Every structure is written in structure tokens, then in C-alpha cells.
Amino acid sequence: MLKYLVVYASETGNTKKIADEIFYALPSDSKEEINVRRWNGRHDAETYFIGFWANRGTCSLEIIDLIMSLHKKNVAFFGTCGLGNDQAYYKAIEQSAMVWLPEDNNFIGSYFCQGSMPPIIRERYEESRERFSQAQYDRMIAIMDEGLKHPDKQDLLRANVFTDTAIHKIPSTENYSRIKDIF
């Protein structure tokens, strides 16, 4: 069994960038990074860093399947979203994924940052412009334009710090064994 497994879903490459940074920041040689589409239950670890891009405020079904399958693991979430740099929104994304995490796991935190959205989203905004006030439309376009710069170096640095913080929330092996026995 690995010490750490970084599993991610990334449609545009944004979440993969964060996954790469988390993988790099992990202190062990006993680690692996894989796309969730290659995860098949044969990869196992003590600690999972699970990454996804937010689609309508939640994660994909393949990520939900992974989250639901975990028991007695240390689990962290990370990801990217195109709807701006808003901590309340990030917390809502975390909570939407937490619904699927069985209670016998040890949740060690989450990190989300803004990511760029594909050009087709901008086209959809432009096609449906009449459905929004000018202020709403301008705000959506501004968020989208800002997202083109993300994840940036600061986002990657924060992912690195998050990784260090999360692994320090993992109980020591001796204490964790006792906790696992309780469940």
C-alpha cells in the first residue's frame, strides 16, 4: 500500500497542474499520481488527495464513486473552479463533496483555486447575454477573463502549503491504528 495517492479529474489541465504540485510537495517516495479514469480500485494508499474541477458546484460521478469507496483513509480534496476566487464558494464545493465521504475516514482539509474555463463557456455567456443584466454579464466576463491567468504561481504555492498543512493533520501511525480499530 502506498503512503500517498493523488487522484484527479481534469478536463482542461487546471486541476492536473494542482495535482502535480501536490504530488511534488509530498515528502515520501511511496506515492503515486493518477487520473481518476485510470483508478480502478487496485491503487490503494493510506492518504488520498482527490482533485476535481467544479462543475455546477460539485464533482463528477467518477470522483463521487472514488470518494464513496474509501474507508479508514486520510482524505483531502483539491481542485479548480471557473467561477472566481471566493472562499465561501470553495467551502460550498468542499461540502458538496463531503456528502459522499464515509464517516470512518479522516478528512484533512481542502484547497480550491480559480481555474480557466474553456472558450465554449464564454460563447455560451455571449449567446445568452440577454438573460442577464449588463452588470451580471460584465461580472461573468470579468471572472472568466481573470480565470485565464489561473492557476498561477501563487495558486501553486498555496497548493504546496496546503499539502504540508494537510499531512500534518494525519494522526501518528500508533494513534491512527487505535482510531482505525474503533471503526
- The string of pLDDT tens digits covering residues 158-178 is 999 999 999 999 987 544 444
CATH top-level class of 2-115+151-178: alpha beta
- Give the pLDDT confidence score for residue 176 in this predicted structure: 46
Q: Which cell goes with 51? A: 482533485
Q: Which cell goes with 169? A: 493533520
Domain boundaries, the chain: 2-115+151-178, 117-149
Report how far residue 76's alpha carbon sits from residue 25's, in angstroms, rounded to the nearest whole number.
14
Cα 153 to Cα 15, 17, 25, 51, 111, distances in angstroms: 14, 10, 14, 18, 15
pLDDT tens column, 29-83: 899 999 999 887 778 999 999 999 988 788 999 999 999 999 999 999 999 988 7
Q: How many CB atoms lie within 10 A of CB 51?
A: 30
pLDDT tens column, 106-149: 999 999 998 887 778 778 888 888 888 999 888 888 878 877 78
Nearest alpha-carbon partner for 112 in 129, 92, 138 = 92
Report how far residue 114's alpha carbon sits from residue 150's, in angstroms, rounded to the nearest whole number.
6
Please determine, for residue 84, whether its predicted confidence score (pLDDT) is greater than 80: no
